[in-house]
Structure 1
Amino acid sequence: MKKLLLLSVAIFGFTFISNAQSISDNAIGLRLGDSDAFGAEVSYQRALGDNNRLEVDFGWRNGRDYDGFKLAGLYQWVFPLDGSFHWYVGAGGGLGSYSIDLSNNRDETDTFLFAAGDIGIEYNFEIPLLISLDARPEIGFGDDAYDNDDLDFDIALSVRYQF
């Protein structure tokens, strides 16, 4: 009976350990997509446990007729797929602001808040490199946020250095 109990505990322990995630403690890089002209974002991820993390993204744009920034924070759950492939889902929100110089000496500006979801897939290389593809639906709240329907879909490819 003791051998059976010991064997059961060993099998359960091995199964638990083999299913544990190995997400890095920190990752920093770029999130490249296009959503309301906020194209590139500096992205930072911080592990909060074996299978969850916090992601913070800061994007900005500056042009002749356009200035803007967007800051997003997301809580994510990470799940294994196969080997170094993982998928993740998350929720969060953020804030942003933009200013557009219109042709008749008039400016359009808005500061807005938004709520966001996140779903994606990632590959963790043997070297400290993480690449991911995700979709982030966002609903904005502001005077002119997201122009017509206050809903935006942000799709991006990310490359991050893990440390």
Structure 2
Amino acid sequence: MKKLFLLSLTILGFATTINAQNIAENAIGLRLGGSDGLGPEVSYQRALSDNNRLELDLGWRSARDYDGFKLTGLYQWVWPIEGDFNWYAGVGGGLAAYDYDARYFNDLDEDDGETFIFAAGNIGIEYAFDFPLLLSLDFRPEIGFGDDFYDNNDLDFDIALGVRYQF
């Protein structure tokens, strides 16, 4: 009886705290973080329901000795904290490729590159202003599957600030 009472109380507590989200139908902007040397990412978010969305990020870098891109897709769940603050968590993965010129690296004999896949998680907090601006701070652990740049033992942690226009 005691267990049934506690379960009922828990369900009632969740039911009273869950309310409709006010996440934007679309948001586009920049995700400014480490991105494993690939620089800032162009970020797009698309609402799928009141509390779920899809996020797509594209990071790239082009330099004298290194070129690369990284495409990430995440499915996210969004929960309200208070007012216009939300927190979110998500899972996903992506595809990346890089190519570098050996003449700029002393320990390489020839040009090299790699294409690889990775799995990613995501957790963060966001604030939606009264005007169409969304700021977020998130943490994205990633594990890659490749030969050199990403190997099976490589777990990377990416922290980033997101600035997006909501529409």
Shift of 1:149: 3.0
SS of corresponding position for 1:36: helix
Moved more, 78-87 or 98-107: 98-107
Question: Does 2:27 match 1:27?
Answer: yes
Q: Which residue of 1 aligns with 2:150?
A: 146
Q: Which residue of 2 aligns with 1:135?
A: 139
Question: Does 2:73 match 1:69?
Answer: no
Report the AA paired with residue 21 of structure 2. Q
- 1:139, 1:21 → 2: CA distance? 31
CA gap of 1:39–1:139, structure 2 versus 1, over 3 A, is same
For structure 2, the residue ranges without an aligned partner over 5 or more in a row are 1-11
Report the AA paired with residue 57 of structure 2. D
Q: Which residue of 1 aligns with 2:128?
A: 124
8 Å Cα contact 2:125-2:137 kept in structure 1: yes
SS of corresponding position for 1:22: coil
How do residues 75-94 of structure 1 correspond to structure 2 at under 5 angstroms? 75-94=75-94
- 2:17, 2:138 → 1: CA distance? 27
Shift of 1:72: 0.4
Q: How many residues align?
A: 150
CA gap of 1:18–1:110, structure 2 versus 1, over 3 A, is closer
TM (normalized to structure 2)?
0.84
- 2:17, 2:125 → 1: CA distance? 22
Taking only aligned residues, the RMSD between alpha carbons, in angstroms, comes to: 2.0
8 Å Cα contact 2:68-2:99 kept in structure 1: yes
- 2:164, 2:48 → 1: CA distance? 17
- 2:146, 2:18 → 1: CA distance? 46
For structure 1, the residue ranges without an aligned partner over 5 or more in a row are 1-11
Stretches (4+) displaced over 3 A? 15-18
Report the AA paired with residue 135 of structure 2. I
Question: Does 2:160 match 1:156?
Answer: yes
8 Å Cα contact 2:96-2:115 kept in structure 1: yes
